[in-house]
Amino acid sequence: MQVSSRPRENERGRILTRLIVLSLLAWACAAHAEHKLNDKECLACHSDSTLTTEVNGKTVSLQVDEKKLKHSIHGTMFTCVDCHKDVKSLVHETTPQKVTCAQCHADAQVTYSHSTHFKASAAGKTPAAGCEDCHGGAHEILAADDAQSPVNHGNIPYTCGRCHGQKFLMESNGESTQPFISYQESVHGRAIEKGSAKAAVCTDCHGSHEILPANDAKSPIYKFNVPATCGNCHTAIRTTFMQSIHGQAIARGNGQAPVCTDCHGIHSIKSHADPNSPASEQNLSRDTCARCHEGVRLSQEFGVPGNRVTTYFDSYHGLATEGGSVIAANCSSCHGVHNILPSSDSRSTINCANLDSTCGKCHKGVTQKFTLNKVHMDRGQSKDIGTIAVRWVRWFYLALIFAVIGVMFLHNAIMWRSKAVARRRMQNPSMARMTTNQRWQHLVLLTSFIVLVITGFALKFPNSWFAEALGMGEKLRSITHRVAGVILIGAGIYHLFYLGVTREGRRLIWDFAPAPKDAFDAWSAMRYYLGLSKERPKFGRFSYAEKAEYWALVWGTALMGVTGIMLWAKVWVGNLLARWWIDVATAVHFYEAILATLAILVWHFYQVFFDPDVYPMNWAWWDGKMPVEHYREEHGLDTEALAEAEASEQGDPIAESEAKPSNEPPRR
């Protein structure tokens, strides 16, 4: 029996068709699953400004500027999903993960992880700068050579300044904005502002991603790395410096030796021609070099002579510089700038073989004999014949000056005393001006005031001639000052008692009382002495000048007493009041002392010594007496009042006062 094969063939065809269809469906599904989204598909949603999300409770826009994206360095090289690798479809079933730059820039991320910015962020000191803060928004990153890029050389100071120029932001992290402000005013900052493409910016000194603190040995601003860092731009200077005695010391690891920033400053580097620069001619000797070479620290540690600046200023060069000379030699004129070497080095500008050339820059035609003269006056410490001779001359003349001037002073003092006494006798008749009690009060006030002035200003100006003449240690000076202060305050309290209890005291306060007439008297006196009026004003027992001085004395004594006690008991006052009260009391005490001292010298000493009418002095402070004729001229109204009071008695009242000298002042 023969069986037909057609049904079997049909069955195999159907099976094959099904397999083909299933294969096509599987291929279509796989192709759909592997579809890579393009930028247009992403921007279809993300170009919408209303597309937002919530991040830490804040609404954040998800809009992407297509123009900026295409202009960025990433927009020309990558698509969206090259960075957002977890995004597989237009509809995000889960929130896309935050893109990290490290997935492409692993090396930069590693160096950044060592930086102070990363560590500050990890420690919770937010905000700390990250990739986007410096390079721009994630979709707007430009190449460093693009003039609009935040990391373009000319834009670096502005980029760093967005954080480091904000006062409250920096203070919240315990830092200051002063470095940024100083850089803006520096020679580098001003050059960048003018468009320089070579001047140093922040990253040239601090690095880019691996910014480290100055105490980190890997930091480019670590002290021992500073010459190399500055040398990236100043190559020739670095080479010269490293050969100098300072550079050699740095190479040996001597942290006491100066580097570029020690002499030129750090962020505030200025041109050496700028008078505010530490490397300027005006500041070099007095400030910059003196920081190391004036003290004894280098002497104790390394045997380098100290007091170099003091001895320099004892020389002609130093004195001329202090006097304002701009051509007199300073430290760098002789020792060099970056090429400073010890005198034992044959390359040194102060080596004996090179002194002719060095000194000859200013002194044309010098010889070796001329260069043997010392520049740093060693104040007699050396043992050479010249120094010994100068020392003997100094001592000889000091003794001669003391003897000759002392004899001259004694000679003139004897003559002055004799003539003053004779002139005083010729001025009789005289009358009482001050009582014995008043003269003692004046003497105590005079003595304590002078002691207070000398001991007080000796503290404020310890290097002054009068401080040296005082010859006291701080402990003895402070005790003397306080004792004089107590005596002055005691004299003031006694004077108040004297004014209130004694009859003469009550009369004194009445006669010292200011009156409207005093203002007119001052005006009339100036008109008279300027030749604008022929009438000389008449004064009472005390003129306007004496009244002004008396009340100034009362005010000054009270103010100096109160502030002096506050400073003496500063701990108690500081616990009782705010600390700034002590600072205010210090300022008032100092400036009131200046005012009082000058007032005595200018106002009181004129009336006692320099007024031609009282030459050689007004003796009332000594014996309490005043010539009758002078009293008539100076106190005409009081003279008339005395005459009226004594009208019932025979003769002239002042003449009677001559005949019967009294220890009491004239009474009304």
CATH assignment of the domain containing 459 = 1.20.950.20
Q: At residue 54, what are phi and psi to the nearest 5 degrees?
A: -105, 125
Could you tell me if residue 51 is inside a domain? Answer: no
Could you tell me if residue 256 is inside a domain? Answer: no
Could you tell me if residue 55 is inside a domain? Answer: no
Count helices and strands (H / E) in the chain. Answer: 38, 4
Task: Indicate if 389 and 518 belong to the same structural domain.
Answer: no
- E strand or H helix at 430, and its extent? strand 430-432
- For residue 607, give its domain range: 430-659
Task: Indicate if 568 and 461 belong to the same structural domain.
Answer: yes
Pairing of strands 58-61, 625-627: unpaired
Per-residue confidence (pLDDT) for residue 655, from 0 to 100: 46
Please tell me whether the overall predicted TM-score, pTM, comes out greater than 0.75 for this model. no
Task: Indicate if 405 and 329 belong to the same structural domain.
Answer: no
Task: Please state the separation of Cα 574 from the chain's center in Å.
Answer: 26
Query: Of 68, 70, 98, which Cα lies nearest the Cα of 85?
Result: 98
- E strand or H helix at 626, and its extent? strand 625-627
Q: How far is residue 52 from each of residues 15, 48, 69, measured CA to CA in Å? A: 53, 9, 18
Task: Indicate if 351 and 486 belong to the same structural domain.
Answer: no
Q: How far apart are CA 484 and CA 488, in angstroms?
A: 6
Per-residue exposure over 166-203, b if at least 16 CB sit within 10 Å of its own CB, e if not: eeeebeeeeeebebbbbbbebbbbeebeeeeeebbbbb
Task: Indicate if 130 and 148 belong to the same structural domain.
Answer: yes
Could you tell me if residue 401 is inside a domain? Answer: yes
pLDDT in tens, 438-479: 999 999 999 999 999 999 988 888 777 777 777 778 888 889
Q: How far is residue 470 from each of residues 203, 459, 480, 589, measured CA to CA in Å? A: 56, 11, 11, 21
pLDDT in tens, 203-228: 999 999 888 999 999 999 999 999 99
Instruction: Specify the length of the chain in residues.
Output: 668
> How many domains does the chain divide into?
4
Task: Indicate if 494 and 634 belong to the same structural domain.
Answer: yes
Residue reference for tokens 């009131």: 592
Task: Indicate if 182 and 292 belong to the same structural domain.
Answer: no
* 83 and 101 Cβ atoms separated by less than 8 Å: no
Per-residue confidence (pLDDT) for residue 14, from 0 to 100: 65
Task: Indicate if 365 and 497 belong to the same structural domain.
Answer: no
Task: Indicate if 494 and 627 belong to the same structural domain.
Answer: yes
Task: Indicate if 419 and 450 belong to the same structural domain.
Answer: no
> Which parts of the chain register pLDDT below 50?
1-3, 29, 31-33, 650-651, 653-668
Per-residue confidence (pLDDT) for residue 247, from 0 to 100: 93
What does R_g of the chain's alpha carbons equal in angstroms? 45
Could you tell me if residue 580 is inside a domain? Answer: yes
Per-residue confidence (pLDDT) for residue 3, from 0 to 100: 47
Say how many C-beta atoms besides its own lie within 10 A of residue 335's C-beta: 21
Task: Indicate if 349 and 409 belong to the same structural domain.
Answer: no
Per-residue confidence (pLDDT) for residue 23, from 0 to 100: 65
The pair of structure tokens assigned to 224 is: 């021992």
Query: Of 186, 183, 254, which Cα lies nearest the Cα of 223?
Result: 254
Residue reference for tokens 């030459």: 615
* 518 and 551 Cβ atoms separated by less than 8 Å: no
Could you tell me if residue 113 is inside a domain? Answer: yes
DSSP state of 95: P
Letter for the amino acid at 98?
K
Task: Indicate if 399 and 470 belong to the same structural domain.
Answer: no
Residue by residue, DSSP assigns 103-120 as: GT-HHHHHHHTTSHHHHH
Q: Is the four-CA dihedral 583, 585, 587, 589 of positive or negative sign?
A: negative
Q: At residue 430, what are phi and psi to the nearest 5 degrees?
A: -135, 170
- The last residue of one of the domains, among 379, 407, 439, is 379
Could you tell me if residue 36 is inside a domain? Answer: no
The pair of structure tokens assigned to 244 is: 């100098």
Query: Of 243, 211, 213, 212, which Cα lies nearest the Cα of 227?
Result: 243
* 227 and 260 Cβ atoms separated by less than 8 Å: yes
Could you tell me if residue 649 is inside a domain? Answer: yes
* 96 and 112 Cβ atoms separated by less than 8 Å: no
The pair of structure tokens assigned to 323 is: 């006097």
Letter for the amino acid at 615?
Y
Letter for the amino acid at 179?
P
Letter for the amino acid at 394?
R
